Amino acid sequence: MTEKEKMINGIEYQADDKELIRELNEVKDLCWEYNSLRPTLLRERNALLQQILGKADDDTFINQPFFCDYGKHIRVGKRFFANFNLTVLDEAFVTIGDDCFIGPNVSIYTACHSTDPAERNTRREWAKPVNIGHNCWIGGSVTILPGVTIGDNVTIGAGSVVVHDIPADSVAAGNPAKVIKKLNTPKNP
């Protein structure tokens, strides 16, 4: 297996692999280009987002600046909107459903590192995917940690740190984020 295949499959991999570094730098250039475009150049911005992301459409909108590691591991649904300063460390897949809104200064992380300094200094790491359902609102300055799944129809309160799964039809807030309200969301027939 290549280091990239290990990374995508959640297996410990060598993060300083030359091929991975090359891909990271290519996407950094694309993000720089995206963040340098005039905000009014909507078509050009969307075309570049579709080049960066693994799945996006003509309605995908991310306010600049936007930062990510690989880009192709990020898949967003229909009518996706993210406000300023979205940061996604997408060593594993980040999948976001339809009609999701993300506030400013949100960070989504999939990369994991050892807490042991000697191990961490070997540049070995692993990644866990993040999944966000349909119809979610992620408030400003939220941090979502590796391996988290957020269900459909969820609101995450501003400033929260999401360290565990959040069930569908709920509002969660805090550090760590906890469900503070259940919603009576009508189900589609």
Which residues are annotated as catalytic?
113
Contact 153, 147 (CB under 8 A): no
Partner residues linked to 101 by β-bridges: 81, 137
Neighbouring CB atoms inside 10 A of 153's CB total: 21
| DSSP result, the chain | --HHHHHHTT--EETT-HHHHHHHHHHHHHHHHHHHS-TT-HHHHHHHHHHHSSB--TT-EEPSPEEESSSTTEEE-TT-EE-S-EEEE-SS-EEE-TT-EE-TT-EEE-EE--SSHHHHTTTEEEE--EEE-SS-EE-TT-EE-TT-EE-TT-EE-TT-EE-S-B-SSEEEEETTEEEEEE--PPPP-
